[in-house]
Chain A
């Protein structure tokens, strides 16, 4: 059986091999945060939330999560601006894997996400099982 770390290695994403994975959901819509939180917690992940990029940055610098799930359109600081700011930080936190979630599926949106530093791009609506599959792919199974 593969260990979580070997799965992580397979996808080239480095994460600490801790007992439980923590995910920071960054979305201004409380219902969306709750929807992702439900799916993630049921799968055994620990979940934290931020309402916009600025709040996410503040939380990250206190404690880096194993994965970020980031909406694009948010007040104060949008998802792309947040990612660019994150990638400019010093130390390991800058390499935190990040998944962009968006209702847009156009090529220029994928490209914009990629150049902002996203590791992955998922188009909403995202079924809960799909979300969990990709989260496990990016940061390993819950435990």
Chain B
């Protein structure tokens, strides 16, 4: 097969502009090689012979090409119990405060967004089983969402390699996973049933709103891919997705204070998190 021509500067610019408008993700010249690799992958898959013909297909979203393209783009690497200090914060501080103001018949709702291949929402479930004394006394809803439909399929499957489990003790692995072919582990059915996976784009207010409001949102290492404008839109959508008094946990390098004035900073023993003020009204 003939080698595909390199993407020109002008083409790269148009592509980034398009990607930004549709997903909020921003790619700079530094990511050029990375972008080009994926464009070529998709060109091959769709048998496009030029960038122009591929881009036409992308813009017209032929056969769901936008989704395919986004799927090829998102970086999905994570592992169980990543940033476990936030999980500790969840059970020692956040949930304690949430159930203090919550009617017993309302579910405790937790959103993992983006959830990638499911490590985070399943970690939340395992952590709560191990560390939250109220786990059987509340209706608990854990939802994992991602823009990438391919990772959601994997998340529902719940199959993981050794790498993803590196932070789990053998005791926990034995308790919550079953061995699967190919040196892998599959998370148990009851845990798979305890997490619901959905497609959601944080830039689309209608999509986030459709998920209802949450007590705690884990949104780690996503906003770093956005520029300032997209970050603000995402932050506002996430704010609206929180119940008054609800919390959002970001990645350790991220800070909501620099993005949006809507949230209050809460410094707990194990983590810094951001809260939608209990009053709830936007200033």
Spell out A's residues near B (CB within 8 Å): 29-38, 49, 101, 103, 124-127
Chain B residues whose C-beta falls within 8 Å of the C-beta of A34 in the assembled complex? 129, 188, 190-191, 194
Instruction: Determine if B190 and A124 form an interchain contact, defined as CB atoms under 8 angstroms apart.
Output: no
Q: How far is the CA of A36 from the CA of B190 in the complex (A)?
A: 12
Q: How far is the CA of A124 from the CA of B194 in the complex (A)?
A: 19
Interface string of B205-249 (1 = CB under 8 A from A): 000000000000000000000000000000000000000000000
Q: Which of B2-10, B111-119, B133-141, B154-162 contacts A (4 or more CB under 8 A)?
A: B133-141
Instruction: Determine if B190 and A125 form an interchain contact, defined as CB atoms under 8 angstroms apart.
Output: no
Q: How far is the CA of A47 from the CA of B191 in the complex (A)?
A: 16
Q: Out of B128, B175, B193, which one reaches A30, CB within 8 Å?
A: B193
Chain A residue nearest to B193 in the complex (CB): A30
Q: How large is the interface on B (under 10, 10 to 19, 20 to 34, 35 or more residues)?
A: 10 to 19
Instruction: Determine if B191 and A29 form an interchain contact, defined as CB atoms under 8 angstroms apart.
Output: no
Instruction: Determine if A101 and B136 form an interchain contact, defined as CB atoms under 8 angstroms apart.
Output: yes
Q: Counting CB contacts under 8 A, is B47 at the interface? A: no
Closest 5 pairs between A and B when the two form their complex, measured CB to CB? A125-B137, A124-B137, A30-B193, A30-B190, A34-B190
Q: How far is the CA of A124 from the CA of B136 in the complex (A)?
A: 6
Instruction: Determine if A38 and B136 form an interchain contact, defined as CB atoms under 8 angstroms apart.
Output: no
Chain A residue nearest to B134 in the complex (CB): A125
Please give the distance in Å from B128's CB to the nearest CB on chain A.
7
Spell out B's residues near A (CB within 8 Å): 104, 125, 128-129, 133-140, 175, 188-191, 193-194
Given A29-B139, A31-B128, A103-B104: A125 and B194 interface contact (C-beta under 8 Å): no
Given A29-B139, A32-B135, A125-B135: A38 and B129 interface contact (C-beta under 8 Å): yes
Instruction: Determine if A126 and B136 form an interchain contact, defined as CB atoms under 8 angstroms apart.
Output: yes
Q: How far is the CA of A49 from the CA of B193 in the complex (A)?
A: 13
Q: How far is the CA of A18 from the CA of B268 in the complex (A)?
A: 51
Instruction: Determine if B133 and A33 form an interchain contact, defined as CB atoms under 8 angstroms apart.
Output: no
Q: How far is the CA of A14 from the CA of B128 in the complex (A)?
A: 36
In the complex, 23 of the A-B residue pairs with CB atoms within 8 angstroms, ordered by the A residue number, are A29-B139, A29-B140, A30-B189, A30-B191, A30-B194, A31-B125, A31-B128, A31-B140, A31-B190, A32-B135, A34-B188, A34-B190, A34-B191, A34-B194, A35-B135, A35-B136, A49-B190, A101-B136, A103-B138, A124-B136, A125-B133, A125-B134, A127-B133
Chain A residues whose C-beta falls within 8 Å of the C-beta of B190 in the assembled complex? 30-31, 33-34, 37, 49
Q: How far is the CA of A30 from the CA of B139 in the complex (A)?
A: 10
Chain B residue nearest to A124 in the complex (CB): B137
